[in-house]
Amino acid sequence: MNPSRLAPPLALPFVRGRVRVGEENPVLEAETTALRSLIHHQGAVEQTTVLEEVQRTFGERRVDYLALVRDGLAVGLCSRLRLGILLGSRFGFALHGRSPAHLAQVQHPLVFQDTTPVREVLDRSLGRRGDEFHEDVVLVDTDNALLGLIPVDALARLQSRLVADQVDELQRNHLELFQANHALRQSQGLYLGLFGSHTLGIALLDREGGIHEHNRRLTELLDLPEEIAGRSLTTMVAAPERAAFVAMLESQARGGPGPATGEFTFLVPRRGPRLIRLSPGWIRETGQICACLEDITEQRALERHMVRQEKQTLLDTLVGGIAHELNNKLTPVQGFSELIGANAEGPTRLYADLIARSVAEAATIIRQLLQLSKPAHSTVDLVDLRAVVEEALTMLRFQIREARCTLRATIAPAPVWVRADPSQIKQVVLNLALNALDAMAGRSPALLAVEVAAAGPLATLVVSDSGVGIAPEIMGRIFDPFFTTKGPERGTGLGLSICFSIVRQHGGDITVDSTPGEGARFCVALPVETAVPLALALDDVPAAPRTTPAHGARVLLVDDEIIVRHLMQEILTVQFGCQVDVAGHGLEALERLAEREYALVVSDIRMPGMNGTELFLWLREAQPVTARRLVLVTGHSGEQRLDDEIAAWGVPLLMKPFTVERFARLCAPYLTGFPRA
């Protein structure tokens, strides 16, 4: 709109009674010192205070800003929002928690002495734009010592009071002029509706959405020319939402109880679809609708990201617990089926093998679930991405043939080396390919294209299809855990979420392009490794010694699962002739360890009371020799940090469910040659 028509109060000298601000008078002095009465709080932190302490101070004071001081003097303003951005990311607290407070300070803080004229404070404070408009103002004395913080709404109320005083004076001076008084009311209504320095886009609309007046922020927000009189906001709203937009305006015009705010998608030139929050209000003086518009596209994106992070944290905890419990239950099924099959023939042996195979498949499903978080154990090596993809496509040959799909594989002629866990990368290929086959179900022709190439520092894997494509409204959710469009009978919603997690854990990125009805294209980019891979041993369990173990060695089993304990006892007794003592948790194990020496201690990690790692730490201090004879077993350790610690300790770790052979091979070196108990 044209600012000259509004005559904002700050462009006029303030009036208190009949004395003007700007002249030498006691009223000016009273207004100046009145700044102290606007102080909201005196919260401050030293600029060297670490951010985790600053966060605690924000939580205790429940404010959005704190003054930054150095040697008692104010030097800036610390923002809770900037602090949240720094510490709120996945590794933010670890990266910035010990950083100094000035890292979270605002860019252009306003610091005024209490002798500064009110007009200057208001001009500079309320004339700010963007997020700076909402920042508190720091008030200091003439020595720059902190007096306190003044919120911007207190300054706005002060300005409104001064404006009201000005209007009252004009009304007293021009009461006899009805037309002038009427014009003043209209001007005041326009000013209240189109506050020139507001951070929101403001427009005066008719009930059809036609723009009569606007502020400059509106043109910036919607990428419009300065002169837009007569243009309608309704035409900029996405077609499916226009009816609701017009209904909201009509409700305001009728004075009905319509919603106070609404969120609509605006098609903004050169910026595309933007989510705009609209807050309408009826202005009686002008017979128009005052619409306040705010772009919340980034805010909603951040909220979705935070929700995804919360979902991921919940899933990490949930899946870890499920994996531990299921692996505990699968372990005796695996072990006892092998023991039965070892001494059986005919159908019984076949049945035992089928049970063991089912357990292995169940364990594979559990490992897939664990890919939602960082895997507890990952075999990372230099691998040729081509070989991994070709092996995955071989496994998919039957599904591709059954789907009557044509496979077009474009594989780089030279090796494409990446540092990765081949089984996890293979899982990414399988998930993306199966997702593509599902998208092409019932469509003809069905084409699955897979490309592997190296481009500079990146190795790329591209999986594209000729399926139904992905609708724009769900594009931002396809990597969310448990989000699926296939229905509960065909999908769990974990496939793409697992791919996203695996690729990020390998330092890469995964993107998707899609046009509805024309298919989708997923691109995985991983860092290329230029080193030539070495042949590395893949089995980390020592081979069983050729010498016959000495029978009669005594072993202590510590596990709260009785059936798992019984399985390990059976293996040790049958294969090694050991004498086995058992304990349900670490505290009970301490009683056994105080009574005698053991050739081997096998302990679960997650147990009530004292867990397995606490038992090891106690042994390392009290019985270091026995600590070197400890083997840990677990269904799922729970966190990567613990796995790294166990690896650093050099303690063997056996994951459940395990085979009889693997358990025996792990225990054999500790039992060979140990004297009879």
Contact 140, 114 (CB under 8 A): yes
Alpha-carbon span 440 to 224, nearest angstrom: 42
Residue 370 banded pLDDT, cuts 50, 70, 90: low
Alpha-carbon span 228 to 230, nearest angstrom: 6
Smallest Cα–Cα separation from 569: which of 332, 356, 348, 363?
332
Tell me how many degrees the CA angle 410-414-417 measures, rounded to the nearest 5.
100
Mean pLDDT of 370-389: 69
Strand runs labelled E in 22-136: 44-46, 65-70, 73-79, 111-113
Alpha-carbon span 663 to 83, nearest angstrom: 50
Residue 81 has pLDDT above 60, yes or no: yes
Residue 600 banded pLDDT, cuts 50, 70, 90: very high
| Residue 533: per-residue pLDDT | 39
Residue 147 has pLDDT above 60, yes or no: yes
Secondary structure element (H or E) that encloses residue 365, with its range: helix 347-370
**pLDDT, tens digit (0-9, with 9 covering 90-100), for 151-174:** 988 888 888 888 888 877 777 776
3-state secondary structure of 64: coil
Residue 540 has pLDDT above 50, yes or no: no
Residue 537 has pLDDT above 60, yes or no: no
* Average of per-residue pLDDT values in the chain: 79
| Residue 483: per-residue pLDDT | 58
Residue 16 has pLDDT above 80, yes or no: no
> b or e along 227-262 (b: 16 or more beta carbons within 10 Å of the residue's beta carbon)?
ebeebebbebbeeeeeeebeebbebbbeeeebeeeb
Residue 664 has pLDDT above 80, yes or no: yes
- Both tokens of 603, joined, read 């302990």
**pLDDT, tens digit (0-9, with 9 covering 90-100), for 31-65:** 556 788 888 888 899 988 888 888 888 888 888 89
Contact 658, 571 (CB under 8 A): no
**pLDDT, tens digit (0-9, with 9 covering 90-100), for 472-509:** 777 777 776 655 555 434 444 567 778 888 888 888 88
Mean pLDDT of 634-640: 69
| Residue 137: per-residue pLDDT | 92
Q: Count of CB atoms within 10 A of residue 490's CB?
A: 10
Tokens 């200091």, residue?
140
Q: In this predicted structure, which of 85-89, 197-201, 308-312 has the lowest mean pLDDT? A: 308-312
Alpha-carbon span 447 to 437, nearest angstrom: 9
| Residue 498: per-residue pLDDT | 81
Tokens 């596209």, residue?
297
| Residue 184: per-residue pLDDT | 65
Residue 390 has pLDDT above 70, yes or no: yes
| Residue 603: per-residue pLDDT | 92
User: Mean pLDDT highest for which of 157-166, 346-355, 376-385, 599-608?
Assistant: 599-608
Alpha-carbon span 339 to 550, nearest angstrom: 22
Q: In this predicted structure, which of 212-216, 545-549, 602-606 has the lowest mean pLDDT? A: 545-549
Quote the percentage of the chain above a pLDDT of 70.
80
What is the signed CA dihedral for 417, 422, 428, 434, rounded to 10 degrees?
110
Peptide bond preceding 422: is omega within 30 degrees of 0, i.e. cis? no
Residue 187 has pLDDT above 60, yes or no: yes
Residue 580 banded pLDDT, cuts 50, 70, 90: very high
Q: In this predicted structure, which of 270-274, 540-544, 664-668 has the lowest mean pLDDT? A: 540-544
Contact 571, 579 (CB under 8 A): no
Residue 450 has pLDDT above 80, yes or no: yes
Smallest Cα–Cα separation from 630: which of 582, 572, 558?
558
Smallest Cα–Cα separation from 426: which of 467, 461, 376?
461
Alpha-carbon span 212 to 563, nearest angstrom: 79
| Residue 617: per-residue pLDDT | 92
Residue 466 has pLDDT above 50, yes or no: yes
Alpha-carbon span 493 to 498, nearest angstrom: 9
| Residue 354: per-residue pLDDT | 77
| Residue 102: per-residue pLDDT | 83
| Residue 373: per-residue pLDDT | 52
| Residue 315: per-residue pLDDT | 67
User: Helix crossing, 562-576 with 660-671: angle to 10°?
Assistant: 60
First to last CA, the chain: 96
Residue 183 banded pLDDT, cuts 50, 70, 90: low
Q: Count of CB atoms within 10 A of residue 390's CB?
A: 15
